[in-house]
Chain A
Amino acid sequence: MTTLPAQWKAFFLTGLLCLWLSQAVAWCEGTWRDDFDDICAKTDQAMTLTLPELTLLVERCGALQKVIETQDESVRKVYLKRLQMCRNLYAYMVEFKKNQQPSK
Chain B
Amino acid sequence: MKKIFLVCAMLLMGSSLLWAAGGSKKRKPLPYDFGAVTISNYSQQAGMAPVVFDHWVHRKNYTCRVCHVDIGFGMTANSTKIRATDNAKGYFCGSCHNGKSTLNKSKIFASCATSYSREEYGRCQRCHALEKDPAREEAFFSFLATMPKETFGNGINWEKAEDMGALKLVDQVDGISGKRGAMKTQSDFALKSKVDGMPDIIFSHTKHTVWNGCELCHPDIFVGIKKGASKYTMIELFDGKYCGVCHDKVAFPQTDCKRCHAKPV
**Shortest Cβ distance from B214 into chain A, in angstroms?**
5
- Chain B residues whose CB sits within 8 angstroms of the CB of A78 once the complex forms: 71-72, 86, 91-92
What is the chain A residue whose CB lies nearest that of B183?
Answer: A44
Q: For the complex formed, measure the closest distance between the CB of B213 and the CB atoms of chain A, giving whole angstroms.
A: 6
Size category of the binding interface on chain A? 20 to 34
Interface residues of B in 170-202 (CB under 8 A from A): 178-184, 186
Flag whether B120 is at the interface (Cβ < 8 A).
no
Closest to A77 in B: B86
Question: Chain A 11-52, CB within 8 Å of chain B: the 1/0 string?
Answer: 000000000000000000000000011001111111110000
Q: Is B245 an interface residue (CB 8 A)?
A: no
Tell me if A92 and B218 are in contact (CB < 8 A).
yes
Closest to A47 in B: B184
Listed by A's residue number, 13 A-B pairs whose Cβ atoms lie within 8 Å are A42-B181, A43-B213, A44-B182, A48-B184, A74-B83, A74-B86, A77-B91, A78-B86, A81-B72, A82-B72, A88-B219, A88-B220, A89-B218
Task: Report B's interface with A, CB cutoff 8 A.
Answer: 69-72, 74, 80-81, 83, 85-86, 89, 91-92, 178-184, 186, 213-216, 218-220, 223, 225-226
* Ranked 10 nearest A-B pairs via Cβ: A37-B178, A92-B219, A44-B183, A85-B215, A89-B215, A78-B72, A74-B86, A74-B91, A81-B72, A43-B215
